[in-house]
Amino acid sequence: MSEGVEIRFEGLAAGRQSGVRLPWRLSWRPVMPLLLAAPLLLFMLVFYALPVLSMLMRSVNDPSWTLSHYASLPGDTVFLKVFSNTLYTSLTVTAGALLLGYPVALSLVRAPRYAPLILFLVLLPFWTSVLVRSYAWMVLLGRHGLINEALLAAGMIDRPLRILNTPLATQIAMVHILLPYMVLPIANALRQIDPSLARAASGLGATPWATFRQITLPLSMPGVAAGVLLVFVLALGFYITPAMVGGTREITLSMLIAQQVDQLNWAYAATLSVLLLATALAIIAVFYRLPGVGHTLRASAR
């Protein structure tokens, strides 16, 4: 029986327990590998953790100790608009990635002969920088871009569609970039399902669709949850893509933060950053408690 499937049903108690117990089990042996990582840890501390922390501190100590920056957020219409827009964008991107990614993950597992090719295509976005990919989408989606030209030539439209600089452009480009984060955890969960289960279902009278609905889909849910978590959290903080293809009318939280930093509104930018971080952490915390998700995340990271 596959491990992922078993862990899926361990429930909350077991998940918490193993999370707590582990650190106490550390003996002297892991100390050596830890020392090897020390230079990097030091680097991260000095050049990443400390600056981020001091930046975040500005949300409560600029100009003096205060919670007023947070207190004003609920009445801040610009913030509320941008925050809800960010959540909405992340949600639609996650849904889009799930709808496109699940079948891809399924084909990755079910058609092992083509798996290398499919994997290559899925991972292609990883080999190019976000900047280049976003430029590519600009070329594709623009007023005189490939898509509009093709549609015009085919006579399906008579005026170019406005896609670039709309939320739709952001969503399309983000789904493309984030797709691997959806496909890999789902494929991993699917791979762990004992193939004899589908056979058994079929032998017991389940049509292929019924087998998928009642056996494969529920058993792949830890992978789905892991993929949804990764894509949603990554989408929350996306900056370059929305900034380049999404236009300036419907901006996201990360764009607002950048704007505020540009205008040297450090305290406001810091408050927004804390909020973004807290939202992401809260979502991670909730998802990690779903049975099986943590395990699937760790397994697909390997």
Minimum distance from CB of 3 to another protein (Å)? Answer: 11
Nearer to another protein, 119 or 197 (CB): 197
Using rule CB under 8 A, residue 290 touches another protein: no
The binding track of 214-253 with respect to another protein, each residue x by CB under 8 A or -, is xx--xx----------------------------------
Quick one: which of 247, 252, 255 has its CA closest to 165? 247
> For the chain, what is the radius of gyration of the CA atoms?
23
Using rule CB under 8 A, residue 203 touches another protein: yes
Using rule CB under 8 A, residue 270 touches another protein: no
The footprint of another protein on residues 150-189 (CB under 8 A) is none
The stretch among 132-140, 164-172, 209-217, 258-266 that binds another protein (CB under 8 A) is: 209-217
Determine how many CB atoms are found less than 10 A away from the CB of residue 14. 12
Minimum distance from CB of 204 to another protein (Å)? Answer: 4
The tally of CA atoms less than 13 A away on the side-chain side of residue 77 is 0
Using rule CB under 8 A, residue 121 touches another protein: no
Residue whose pair of structure tokens reads 């992401």 in the numeric block: 280
CA distances from residue 117 to 101, 122, 170, 213 in whole angstroms, order as listed: 15, 9, 27, 27
Using rule CB under 8 A, residue 44 touches another protein: no
The stretch among 81-89, 121-129, 173-181, 197-205 that binds another protein (CB under 8 A) is: 197-205
Residue numbers of the site for another protein (CB under 8 A)? 1, 5-6, 8-9, 194, 196-197, 199-208, 210, 214-215, 218-219
